[in-house]
Amino acid sequence: MRALAAILWVFTSLTTAAADPVKVGCLYPLSGSGGLYGRDSLVAIDMALEDIRQSNTPIEIEVAVRDSRSKTLRSLQIARNFVETDGVDFLCGMVSSTVALTVSDYARKSATFLIGTDHASPTLVSSQLHPYYFRVTNGSRLSMRAGAMYIAETQPKTPLRISFVGPDYDYGYQVFEDLRHFLEAEGVAHEISSVYWPALFASDYSLYIQQLIEDAPDIVVNAHWGLDLVTFVRQADQLGLFETVQFMNFDTGGNYEILAELGADMPEGLVLSARHHLNWPATAANDAFVTEFHARAGRYPSYAAEGAYSGIMAIAEAVRQAGGTQDKEKLKQALENLKLSLPEDPDGFRSTMDPKHHQMLQVQAIGRTEPSQAFPPAQMILGDIRVYEPPLHWPDRPVIPQQN
């Protein structure tokens, strides 16, 4: 199986010959339902290495990417191999929070830095946090904080009847708990009408969509991602859910992958967000990132691309500040105090690492789908965008005990 894993070794050019190259082992799904995330990440990693090579202080970085297929045991074995055989300095990547939790646990045991890029569960930066784990993309907690603020601003009805439907694993539970917490914090008079937990990677959501239609809430907050969300939106549209209910997905719904995959099937007026948008912020850096990616790949990037790009840029910056990879304490301090200018940052804002929780704090932009031919094959893009800056500190709160 290992022979089948897609491997990418990329070398930056050396301007200083002294130091050993920094070794990074990334785990992304390159095939299966999340395969596009990994393939986009490959392109973005290449772009990051190119940017590092072109910078004033270039660093030699070797990046290996292997296909995790979003399988827990397979990912653990790949991580072990990276650390124990290849001797990587950093692990990175992982789309699924379940996979990330297992690999993060191994990173803790093996004292290897793990730079999380695409998974979003707060568990990794709270109850399961350890000194070697850092996440450089917005987690779902900040997404839900922004989502609750969006609801408070745009939904005057009281009490607001809200239903929740999300994937049945840690990410979904955390999103739901964060939604409830921040709705309370924002003072939104609401009641939770119903909560549903379809299985992750399910192929049929009609049972739950019918239940949602029967419940007739004002808002359905959804926490699916990837192909699950595409399937859900298609089935919900066919069954008529969007005719009576305002659909919202604050963490992943605005991902370009979703917009492109649904194409003309994406309904207008859905409230969505993502960790990176093609049309926001309208900065030179974001435009250059999107344009360069399109030139290399022939398609527009999903948010996973910008996440992977951020991960490599974070590693490079941390190594630069720590003066190499030998002193893990210095590396840890550098990562804890990391500040980066990333494509997703609006003018005047820099992505900043929360030193206590190892979670990058970034701006969240929420909008509504509206017709646009700007980024084909997507037929919709987010418009009417509202922007929510992160708090100074990552909002920790007592973890509600999981019961499964």
Partner 1 sequence: MFWRHNNLARRYMFAALVAAIVPLLVIAFLYDRYSVRLIDTISRSRTEGEVQAVAVRMGSFLRAQLNRLENIADLPETAQFLASDHPVMSDTLYDFLLLEADSPDVYAIELYSMEERLLATVPQTQSPPPVQDATTPFVSFEQADVIGPVLPPNGLPGWFMIRLPVSVNRAELGYVVMRLRLNSLTEKMGPLILTGIKSPQLVVFDRIHLNAAGHRVAAGSVLHSSNPILPGWHLDLVALTDKLNDRRQALRLTLLILSFALVLALGLLFFQLSNRLTGYLRPLKEGADALSRGDFSANVPENGPGELGSLARAFNHMRRHLRDMINSRVDIERRAALGNMAAGIAHEVRNPLATIAATVYGLKRGETSPERVEMYDEMSGEIERVDRAIEEFLKYARPSTPKREPVLVRDTFRGLRTLTSAQVLERNITLNLGGDSQLELMIDPAHLRQILLNLILNAIQAVPDGGLISLKVLHLCGATVLTVEDNGAGMDGATLDKVMRPFFTTRSGGSGLGLAVTAELTRANGGYIHIDSTPGTGTTVTLTFPDPPREAPE
Residue 210 is a binding residue for partner 1 (CB under 8 A): yes
Would you say 234 or 320 has its CB closer to partner 1? 234
292's CB contacts (< 8 A; 6+ apart) are 47
298's CB contacts (< 8 A; 6+ apart) are none
Tell me how far apart the alpha carbons of residues 33 and 69 are, in angstroms, rounded to a whole number: 8
Residues 341-400 that bind partner 1 (CB under 8 A): 400
For residue 150, the minimal CB distance to partner 1 (Å) is 21
**Given candidates 55, 110, 154, 194, which one binds partner 1 under the rule CB under 8 A?**
194
Peptide bond into 159 cis (omega under 30): yes
Peptide bond into 281 cis (omega under 30): yes
Helix (H, G, I), strand (E, B) or coil at 65: strand
Residue 231 is a binding residue for partner 1 (CB under 8 A): no
Residue 73 is a binding residue for partner 1 (CB under 8 A): yes
Tell me how far apart the alpha carbons of residues 275 and 303 are, in angstroms, rounded to a whole number: 6
Residue 158 is a binding residue for partner 1 (CB under 8 A): no
Tell me how far apart the alpha carbons of residues 212 and 194 are, in angstroms, rounded to a whole number: 8
| Region from 144-152, 203-211, 245-253, 340-348 binding partner 1, contact rule CB under 8 A | 203-211
Cβ-count burial 83-119 (b if 16+ within 10 Å, e if not): beeeebbbbbbbbbbbbbbbbbbbbbeeebbbbbbbb
For residue 54, the minimal CB distance to partner 1 (Å) is 39
Question: 366 pairs with which residues across the strands?
Answer: 273, 386
For residue 166, the minimal CB distance to partner 1 (Å) is 10
Residue 7 is a binding residue for partner 1 (CB under 8 A): no
Edge-first strand listing for the sheet containing 351-354 = 10-11, 61-67, 22-28, 90-93, 113-116, 133-135, 359-361, 351-354, 339-340
Question: 396 pairs with which residues across the strands?
Answer: none
**Given candidates 19, 201, 296, 352, which one binds partner 1 under the rule CB under 8 A?**
201
**Given candidates 90, 113, 132, 173, which one binds partner 1 under the rule CB under 8 A?**
173
For residue 403, the minimal CB distance to partner 1 (Å) is 4
For residue 158, the minimal CB distance to partner 1 (Å) is 21
Residue 55 is a binding residue for partner 1 (CB under 8 A): no
Would you say 21 or 32 has its CB closer to partner 1? 32
List own/partner pairs for 285-288 with CB under 8 A and 24 or more apart: 285/341, 285/342, 285/343, 285/345, 286/343, 286/344, 288/343
**Given candidates 8, 55, 71, 386, which one binds partner 1 under the rule CB under 8 A?**
71
Which one-letter DSSP state was computed for residue 263? Answer: G
Residue 192 is a binding residue for partner 1 (CB under 8 A): yes
For residue 173, the minimal CB distance to partner 1 (Å) is 6
Residue 85 is a binding residue for partner 1 (CB under 8 A): no
Total residues in contact with partner 1, by rule CB under 8 A: 38
**Given candidates 1, 14, 111, 207, which one binds partner 1 under the rule CB under 8 A?**
207
| Region from 8-16, 29-37, 66-74, 258-266 binding partner 1, contact rule CB under 8 A | 66-74
**Under a CB-based contact definition with an 8 Å cutoff, are residues 351 and 370 in contact?**
no
- Token duo for residue 3: 């022979």
- Token duo for residue 25: 């082992």
For residue 272, the minimal CB distance to partner 1 (Å) is 23
Would you say 187 or 401 has its CB closer to partner 1? 401
For residue 214, the minimal CB distance to partner 1 (Å) is 7
For residue 105, the minimal CB distance to partner 1 (Å) is 6
User: Which residue is listed with tokens 């939106």?
Assistant: 233
For residue 362, the minimal CB distance to partner 1 (Å) is 25
DSSP 279-290: SSS--HHHHHHH
Residue 133 is a binding residue for partner 1 (CB under 8 A): no
Would you say 210 or 291 has its CB closer to partner 1? 210
Residue 95 is a binding residue for partner 1 (CB under 8 A): no
Tell me how far apart the alpha carbons of residues 108 and 101 are, in angstroms, rounded to a whole number: 10
Question: Which residues contact partner 1 (rule: CB under 8 A)?
Answer: 71-73, 76-77, 98, 101-102, 104-105, 123, 128, 164, 168, 170, 173, 176, 192, 194-202, 206-208, 210-211, 214, 400-404
